[in-house]
């Protein structure tokens, strides 16, 4: 039996054009600029405009800070 450790991307999210909106999310694939996230709090779509590594990876966790802007749809 194999013990496959999947990488988990832990995101700290800030929305630059909406005061007080943001959150923390776990993703199983690496985010990239232009990707769209949906925050569970308001179900609004947000496009990633900036990604910064917060700290070095620990185990199978990678810690990232992302800045987003409101977008009208998932594309």
Beta-carbon count within 10 A of 12 CB: 15
Compute the average pLDDT of residues 11-34: 94
Domain limits, the chain: 1-50
pTM: 0.84
Q: What is the DSSP string of 25-51?
A: EEESS---TT-EEE-TTT--EEEEEEE
Compute the average pLDDT of residues 3-20: 89
Q: What are the tens digits of pLDDT across the range 43-70?
A: 889 999 999 999 999 999 999 999 999 9
Residues 6+ apart with CB under 8 A from 28: 6, 7, 8, 9
8 Å CB contact between 28 and 7: yes
8 Å CB contact between 44 and 24: no
pLDDT surpassing 60 at residue 75: no
């Amino acid at each position: 039996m194999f013990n496959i450790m999947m990488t988990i991307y832990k995101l700290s999210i800030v929305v630059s054009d909406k005061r007080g909106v943001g959150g923390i999310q776990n993703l199983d694939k690496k985010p990239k600029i232009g990707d769209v996230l949906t925050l569970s709090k308001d179900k609004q779509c947000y496009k990633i405009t900036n990604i910064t590594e917060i700290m070095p990876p620990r185990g199978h966790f990678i810690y990232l800070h992302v800045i987003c802007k409101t977008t009208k749809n998932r594309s």
